[in-house]
């Protein structure tokens, strides 16, 4: 009985949607766990202004029953975005502020979050076969 309740609780936690207070700053669709089914990767914030991106969270969601359900959520992405510098990225062909899914030579693609264009201000996440891990943080 305890195991059943634990599994029920775990299921509820893993499938609960994001808080209604959350704003979606950026989202991308792509197969980030290489199972040939697309996930949605989302940057949530408690503030709709990316420049005031405190309490930002990264979430990976899978579509179940016609709705996106969060299967991973990282709350430690506490960082501000600087879209005011996107003109620099446009001039140099760099990546604008936001969220990217990049295919690499690795088995799983990179989830790349650019906070400030043309800088080392980024986070890099990647699936490792069981969960999503922060692999690199720029300066």
Residues in contact with Ca ion by the rule CB under 5 A: 31, 33, 35, 37, 39
| Two tokens, residue 121 | 């201000």
The CB-of-127 to Ca ion minimum distance in angstroms stands at 9
The CB-of-29 to Ca ion minimum distance in angstroms stands at 10
Residue nearer to Ca ion on the CB measure, 2 or 36: 36
The CB-of-17 to Ca ion minimum distance in angstroms stands at 19
Residue ranges in the chain assigned as alpha helix (H): 2-15, 86-92
Residue nearer to Ca ion on the CB measure, 71 or 88: 71
The CB-of-24 to Ca ion minimum distance in angstroms stands at 19
d(CA 55, CA 73): 12
Residue nearer to Ca ion on the CB measure, 72 or 123: 72
Residues 6+ apart with CB under 8 A from 25: 43, 44, 45, 48, 50, 53, 56, 81
The CB-of-61 to Ca ion minimum distance in angstroms stands at 11
| Two tokens, residue 28 | 């991308």
135 and 124 in contact (C-beta within 8 Å)? yes
Residue nearer to Ca ion on the CB measure, 87 or 104: 104
82 and 116 in contact (C-beta within 8 Å)? yes
Residue nearer to Ca ion on the CB measure, 31 or 74: 31
d(CA 36, CA 130): 16
């Amino acid at each position: 009985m305890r195991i059943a309740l634990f599994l029920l609780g775990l299921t509820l936690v893993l499938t609960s949607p994001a808080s209604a207070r959350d704003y979606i700053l950026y989202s991308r669709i792509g197969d980030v766990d290489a199972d040939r089914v697309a996930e949605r990767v989302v940057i949530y914030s408690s503030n709709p202004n990316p420049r005031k991106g405190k309490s930002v969270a990264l979430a990976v969601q899978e579509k179940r029953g016609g709705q996106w359900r969060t299967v991973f959520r990282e709350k430690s992405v506490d960082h501000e975005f600087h879209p005011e510098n996107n003109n620099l990225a446009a001039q140099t062909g760099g990546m604008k502020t936001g969220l990217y899914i990049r295919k690499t030579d690795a088995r799983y693609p990179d989830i790349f979050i650019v906070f400030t264009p043309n800088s080392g201000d980024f986070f890099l996440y990647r699936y490792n076969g069981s969960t999503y891990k922060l692999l690199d943080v720029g300066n």
